[in-house]
């Protein structure tokens, strides 16, 4: 971690250009060309906690890319504070709404939507994907909503609760703060969206109806991205919700395996100022200072 800043600073102009800020309404791009040899990376870990140093050189690669985009972050309450997560299917978690699931559709969502300090950018590096399992993505900048729905969904009405990957946060006893789903930032519309962890049954009927119309629009503009080994997907977490199609995990060492890094972009103005007062369910983000 101490060497990442100087090594990142030495990367050439072509790599820096490839890692420029997302500059399209789609809110994402794919960087290709990192060499991944399926025969030498070892089997897909059975669980993130057993991954150890599996594919550690690619942890470094993702961190180097992350430093070009901003400040890498980790979470005390997720994957033991690692700055790069292993995203693998795990037995017993098939039907959860987390990265460890497999047999269910992972609903489109903002990464770590429950927390005001969530990443601005999400980086997903593909290690193995023999079954061409697709990541789904949809941008708020491509949906069509009425002015009434935008206004309604811009009001703080419902909380977003911590997901199942954050056991400590889910046990937090503070009152969950209501948050807006949409916000018109200086650069355009942004969203904070996680229907699987939003208690929609507590909302007024008109709010639920507007939320459903937003969900339908995100589904309409959704695209499917099947990453190949060595591909790195960069997602603007303020514009884009992402998910994953269902698949049948084999648990034989050949299943889909991604690496994930999260990045904050200093000085970015894509979120309501009121978020700064949220308690974040007691979760603290760790920053890798790279300046």
Residues 10-56 have pLDDT tens digits of 888 988 888 888 889 999 999 999 999 999 999 999 999 999 999 99
Mean of pLDDT over the chain = 94
Residue 276, pLDDT above cutoff 50: yes
Task: Tell me the two tokens of residue 196.
Answer: 């699987």
- What's the total number of domains in the chain? 1
Residue 146, pLDDT above cutoff 90: yes
Q: Give the per-residue pLDDT at 291.
A: 44
Give the confidence band of 142 by pLDDT, cuts at 50, 70, 90: very high
Q: Is 94 exposed, middle or buried (0-12, 13-18, 19+ CB in 10 A)?
A: middle
Q: Give the per-residue pLDDT at 289.
A: 61
Residue 258, pLDDT above cutoff 60: yes
Residues 89-141 have pLDDT tens digits of 999 999 999 998 999 999 999 999 999 999 999 999 999 999 999 999 999 99
Q: What does the alpha-carbon distance between residue 229 and residue 126 come to, in Å, rounded to a whole number?
A: 5
Q: Give the per-residue pLDDT at 3.
A: 85
Q: Which of the pair, 187 or 290, is modelled with greater confidence? A: 187
Q: Which domain holds residue 105?
A: 4-287
What are the DSSP calls for the chain, one per residue? --SHHHHHHTS-HHHHHHTSPP-STT-EEEE------TTTS-SPPSSGGG-TTTTHHHHHHHHHHHHHHSEEEEETTSGGG-SEEEE---TT-TTSSSTT--SS-EEEE-TTTT-TT--SEEEEEEEE-TT-PPEEEEEGGG----HHHHHHHTS--B-----TT-HHHHT--SPPPPB-SEEEETTEEEE---GGGS-GGGS-HHHHHHHHHHHHHHHHH-EEE---TT-EEEEETTTEEEEE-------SS-S-EEEEEEEE-TT---S-GGGGG--GGG--EEE----
Q: pTM for this structure?
A: 0.95
Residues 217-246 have pLDDT tens digits of 999 999 999 999 999 999 999 999 999 999
Residues 158-206 have pLDDT tens digits of 999 999 888 889 999 989 999 999 999 999 999 999 999 999 999 999 9
Domain harbouring 84, CATH code: 3.60.130.10
Placement of tokens 């904050």 in the chain: 264
Residues 72-95 have pLDDT tens digits of 999 988 899 999 999 999 999 999
């Amino acid at each position: 971690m101490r060497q990442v800043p100087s090594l990142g600073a030495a990367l050439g102009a072509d790599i820096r250009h490839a890692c420029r800020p997302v500059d399209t309404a789609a809110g994402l791009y794919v960087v290709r060309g990192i060499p991944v040899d399926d025969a030498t990376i070892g089997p897909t870990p059975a669980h993130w906690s057993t991954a150890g140093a599996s594919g550690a050189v690619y942890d470094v690669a993702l961190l180097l890319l992350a430093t070009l985009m901003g400040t890498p972050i980790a979470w005390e309450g997720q994957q033991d504070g690692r700055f790069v997560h292993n995203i693998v299917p795990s037995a017993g978690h098939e039907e959860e709404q987390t990265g460890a699931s497999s047999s269910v559709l992972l609903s489109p969502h903002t990464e770590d939507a429950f927390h005001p300090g969530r990443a601005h950018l999400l980086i997903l590096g593909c290690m193995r994907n023999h079954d061409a399992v697709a990541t789904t993505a949809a941008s708020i900048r491509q949906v069509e909503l009425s002015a009434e729905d935008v206004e309604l969904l811009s009001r703080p009405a419902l909380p977003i609760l911590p997901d199942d990957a954050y056991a400590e946060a889910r046990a937090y006893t503070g009152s969950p703060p209501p948050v807006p789903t949409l916000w018109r930032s200086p650069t355009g519309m942004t969203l904070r969206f996680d229907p699987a962890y939003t208690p929609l049954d507590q909302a007024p009927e008109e709010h639920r109806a507007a939320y459903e119309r937003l969900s339908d629009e995100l589904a309409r503009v959704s695209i499917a991205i099947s990453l190949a080994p060595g591909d790195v997907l960069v997602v603007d977490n303020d514009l884009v919700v992402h998910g994953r199609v269902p698949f049948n995990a084999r648990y034989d060492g050949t299943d889909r395996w991604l690496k994930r890094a999260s990045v904050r972009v200093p000085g970015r103005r894509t979120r309501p100022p009121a978020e700064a007062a949220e308690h974040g369910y007691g979760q603290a983000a760790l920053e890798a200072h790279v300046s």
